[in-house]
Chains A and B, each alone.
Chain A
Amino acid sequence: MNISQAVKMAAKSISSNKARSFLTMLGIIIGLAAVIILVSYAEGQTLAMKAYYESMGTNVLEVSANNWMSSEDTGKMLYDYCLGLEGVEGITPNGYVYNDMTISYGAKTLSRNRNYGGGMVMIGGGGMSMSYGGGSDDHYPQVRLGNDKYGLCNDYKIAKGREFSYLEIQNMSQVCILGSDTAEYLFSFADPIDKTITINGLPFRVVGVYQSKAAGINLGNSEDSYWLSESIKRNDKLLLLPSTMTRFFNNNESIDEYIVKVVDSDSITKVVTDLNGFLSNIINTNYGYYNVYNPSEYQGDQEEANQLQQRFLGGIAAISLLVGGIGIMNIMLVTVTERTREIGIRKAIGAERRSIITQFLIEAAMICGIGGLLGIAVGYIGTMVVTKLSFGLVMMPGSAITVGAFAISVALGIIFGLYPAIKASALQPVEALRAD
C-alpha cells in the first residue's frame, strides 16, 4: 500500500467517524487554546512591566537631598561629587515648577487652571475647551528643570536640535527642550527648532525636541494596562527648562531631586554605597534628609512577582494540556480497541503489519494536526477576546510556545493512537477477528 492510498484511507476513516474524530480533536483544541491564552496573558504582563521600566530609563538612581539648616548648596556639592565619582555617567537636577504656567506659540496655548480639578486646556486664543481628569485633550506638559545631561539620565533621545549646553545652564539662558507630544501640539508639522515660545509671557527659544517614548510600545487596550500606558505617554508631554531657571520660576528655591545615570547595572551597588556615604557626611538628618532610590530594585521585585505568576499560569496551562492529552489518549485507546476487528479483517485479506501501522499513524497525525491547528486558531481568537474583555494585559502569543504546545499535543495523539494499533496489528488475524 502506498502513502497516498494510506492518506485516503485515513481521511475516509476520519470523515466516517465524525463524532469520534471531533472528540479527539476537542482534547487537543482545549489544551492548546488554554496554553496559548494563559501564556500570552502572563507574557503580556511581563512585557508591559518591562516597557514601563524601560521608559523610565535603565541604570538610573533617584537621589533626593535637602539640608535646611546649611547655607551650603547641597545640590551643587552633590553635583560636583558625582562628576568625579567612578561608575557615574551623568547627573541632572530633576526640578519641578510648582506654579501653573501659560505656554503659547502663535495661536496655540497650553495652560492649566487647577480650580477645575483636572485639567483645562485653552485651544486658540479665544475658543475655550475644558476637559477634566486627564481627558484626551489634556496636553499640558510636565515642566522640568534639568541640565545638559537631562536626556542622558532620563533615557530621552534627541529627535531634532540638541541638548542644552553647559553655558546655557550657567547663564540661565531662556531656552527649552520639548517632549514629542508637546512639540506636536504646539507646532503641528512645523519645525520647532529656533522658534520662540512664550512662557508666562517670557520668550524661550526651542533648542531641541526629544523622541517619543510611547511610540512603538503596544500595551493593548485593557484597563490594567491603562495606567501603564498613560505613565509612558506622559513622558512625551514635557517642557524642559535649564535647572538654573528655578531662581525665576520657583522663587530661588533649590532643587533637591537628582537623577544619576550609572554606566552599567554592575556599578549600581557601588554608586549607591558611595552616594549614601557622601550624603551622610554632608547632611545631618536632624536638619535635613537624603535618600538614594534604586528603581531597578523595585523592578526586580516586580519581575519576581511576575515570574511567580507566570509559573502559576504556566502550571495551569500544563494541567490543561495534560488533561487534553489524557482525553486524546483515552479516545485513541477506545478507538483502536473498537477497531481491532477491522484490523483483523484487513490482515485477513492481506494487509501487512506495516500497512496497518502506517494507516493508523497517518490517521492519528491528521486528527491531531487538524485539532492542533484549530486549537491554535481558538487560542489566538481567545487571546484577542480576553484582550477585548480587559481582563489584563494581553499580547499575541509567542511562536515558540505555540509550536511547542502543538508539538506536544500532536505527539501525544500519535503515541497514544499508534500504541494500540501496534499492539493490535501484532495479533494473529484470527484473534483480531474474534474481537467485538
Chain B
Amino acid sequence: MLIDIKDLYKIYNEGKESEVRALDGVSLQIDRGEFVSIIGQSGSGKSTLMNILGCLDIPTYGDYHLDGTDVTELSDRQLAHIRNKQIGFIFQGYNLIPALSARENVELPLIYQNIGVDKRHERSEEALERVSMFDRAGHKPSEMSGGQQQRVAIARAIATHPNIIMADEPTGALDSKTGRHVLEILHSLHDDGTTIILITHDNGIAATAERIVRISDGKIIADGTREEVGL
C-alpha cells in the first residue's frame, strides 16, 4: 500500500460559527502504480485532499501513512524531503518561477537534492525531452504558451523520478487539444509505473483513469471503476 489514509479531517475555524469541514472523515487507500482520478465539484474538498496527500498541508485529525511512514509525525524538514524525492506536483496554474528559464525551473528540485551540475543537466534534458520541450529550455515562462508552461511543469515534476505524480486540474487552464496532450503524457508516465493522482472536475478527463474517486462536501461518495461510479 502506497497511500493509506483513515478518518482524515481538515477543519477550518473549528468550533466557531464559520467552521468549514473541507474534509470530513475521509479514508482512502491507493496502491503503487495506480492511476486514480479524484473528481468533485468546486469546493468539494478534492484540492484539500490532494494538498494533504502531497504533504503540502497537514490534516486537522486522522492518520496518513505514505509508503508505510506515518506522515503526521514527520518534521517540517522530513516533509520537505518527501515532497522533493517521492512526489511530483503539477498545478493548474503551472507554478513556475518567472525569473528562471525552463531548464532552471526543471533543475530546481534537483538542486535541493544537492545533485551535481552534470547529472542535473542530464536529468533536466531527459525530462524536457520527454515532454517535447527541450528546444525551449532557455525560455522563461513568460515567453511560453500555457500548454508549454504546463509541459515544463510536468518535466519539473518528473525530473526527480518520483513514485507519485499529483496533478491538480492540470488541464484546467488549457484548450482541449493541449489538455489531451498533457493527459497523454500522464498516461505514458503511468505506463512506466508511476502512480498518478489526478484531481479534476471534468468527467471526461476523469474517465480516462482506471479508478475514480468521487468526493462531495468533504466526503468520498463513490470509489471504483468508470462504470462503478457511473461516468
Residues in A lying within 8 Å of B, measured CB to CB:
1-2, 5, 9, 12-13, 16-17, 341-342, 344-355, 428-431, 433
Contacts and interface: CB of A to CB of B under 8 A. Distances in A.
Interface string B80-98: 1101110001010001110
A427 B174 CA distance: 30
B51 interface: yes
A344 B95 CA distance: 9
Contacts of A354: 77
B99 interface: yes
Interface stretch (B108-116, B143-151, B189-197, B214-222): B108-116
Interface of B: 51, 54, 56-58, 76-77, 80-81, 83-85, 89, 91, 95-97, 99-100, 104, 108-109, 111-114, 156, 160
A354 B114 CA distance: 14
Contacts of A428: 56-58
A347 B80 contact: yes
Contact of B77 (A344, A346, A353): A353
14 contacts: A1-B111, A2-B114, A346-B97, A347-B83, A348-B83, A349-B89, A350-B83, A352-B76, A428-B57, A430-B56, A430-B57, A431-B57, A433-B56, A433-B95
B111 A5 contact: yes
Nearest to B80: A352
B80 A353 contact: yes
Given A349-B109, A350-B109, A429 B77 contact: no
Contacts of B96: 345
B80 A430 contact: no
Contacts of B54: 348
A350 B80 contact: yes
A349 B83 contact: yes
Q: Give me the 4 closest cross-chain CB pairs, A-B, nearest first.
A: A350-B84, A16-B99, A430-B57, A349-B109
B76 A429 contact: no
A355 B109 CA distance: 12
Contacts of A12: 99-100, 104
Given A345-B95, A347-B83, 15 more contacts: A348-B54, A348-B56, A349-B83, A349-B89, A350-B109, A350-B113, A351-B80, A352-B112, A353-B77, A355-B112, A428-B56, A428-B58, A429-B56, A430-B57, A433-B91
Contacts of B156: 349
A382 B141 CA distance: 43
Contacts of A351: 80, 84, 112
A173 B160 CA distance: 102
A429 B50 CA distance: 13
A379 B111 CA distance: 40
B99 A13 contact: yes
B114 A1 contact: yes
Nearest to B89: A348
Residue from B51, B81, B108, B111 whose CB has the most chain A CB atoms within 10 Å: B111
Nearest to A352: B80
B114 A348 contact: no
Contacts of A5: 111
Contacts of B57: 428-431
B59 to A, nearest CB: 11
Contacts of A430: 51, 56-57
Contacts of B95: 341, 344-345, 348, 433
Contacts of A350: 80-81, 83-85, 109, 112-113, 160
A322 to B, nearest CB: 31
A353 B56 contact: no
A353 B76 contact: yes
Nearest to A6: B111
A2 B120 CA distance: 14
A16 B160 CA distance: 26
Nearest to A353: B76
Most chain A beta carbons < 10 A, residue from B56, B77, B89, B91:
B56
Contacts of B51: 430
B62 to A, nearest CB: 16
A345 B97 contact: yes
A235 to B, nearest CB: 65
A433 B168 CA distance: 13
A355 B89 CA distance: 20
Nearest to B99: A16
Contacts of A352: 76-77, 80-81, 112
